[in-house]
């Protein structure tokens, strides 16, 4: 739309476009000024000042890292995130103590649904405490090493203790329970586990 002002034709859309570009230019100038005050001037002053007392000083608050170091950090973070997803929710994966029993939460709603599945002939492995123990270590704790032996130490009154030994020397003791029904038709669930030194 064009209007006539003092004999000149003015396009309103052109005025809006110019205002938008002016605002963007101001924003870019402010970002550039912020970057120079935080990072750019710091690099120039580092060369003139004696910064040998500060090891690994980089631009701004971050240490100077090579591309390889950054990629290694990203790789470690990705592995940690994948491992974290395999941990039970109430267990702090950064603080898994040795020689101490670690409790595993049992969701009774899921257990009831799973018991119904087993009663209908599905997932028969949940009736075997050794199978439940090995599945827990593989799927929940992410121990993918080859097993040397699985030993059922005791099994009575709906409670069982199992010892699993891996090829790399790791040993894990597990305490399993039948949370809903005791006997040959009740499913097993891991109640707690223990990693001896």
DSSP 7: T
> 168 by DSSP, 3-state: which?
coil
Higher pLDDT, 125 or 29: 125
d(CA 135, CA 148): 15
The per-residue pLDDT for 50 is 47
Query: pTM here?
Result: 0.51
Residue 141: what are its φ and ψ, rounded to 5°? -95, -10
Of the listed ranges 62-71, 119-128, 154-163, 165-174, the one predicted with least confidence: 62-71
Structure tokens at 124: 């028969």
Q: Over 70: is that where the pLDDT of 135 sits?
A: yes
CB-based contact 145:167 (threshold 8 Å): yes
> Residue 132: pLDDT band by 50, 70, 90 thresholds?
very high
More confident residue, 172 or 73: 172
Q: Is the pLDDT of residue 42 over 70?
A: no
């Amino acid at each position: 739309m064009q209007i006539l002002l003092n004999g000149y034709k003015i396009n309103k859309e052109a005025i809006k476009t110019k205002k938008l570009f002016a605002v963007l230019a101001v924003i870019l100038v402010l970002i550039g000024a912020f970057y120079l005050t935080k990072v750019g001037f710091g690099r120039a002053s580092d060369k003139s000042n004696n910064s040998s007392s500060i090891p690994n000083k980089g631009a701004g608050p971050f240490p100077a890292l090579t591309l390889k170091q950054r990629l290694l950090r990203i790789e470690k973070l990705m592995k940690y995130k994948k491992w974290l997803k395999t941990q039970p929710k109430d267990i702090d994966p950064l603080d898994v103590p040795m020689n101490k029993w670690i409790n595993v939460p049992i969701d009774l709603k899921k257990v009831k649904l799973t018991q119904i599945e087993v009663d209908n002939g599905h997932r028969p492995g949940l009736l075997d405490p050794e199978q439940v123990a090995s599945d827990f270590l593989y799927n929940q704790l992410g121990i993918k090493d080859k097993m040397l032996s699985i030993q059922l130490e005791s099994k009575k009154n709906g409670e069982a203790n199992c010892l699993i030994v891996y090829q790399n020397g790791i040993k894990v003791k597990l305490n399993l329970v039948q949370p809903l029904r005791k006997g040959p038709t009740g499913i097993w669930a891991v109640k707690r586990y223990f990693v001896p030194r």
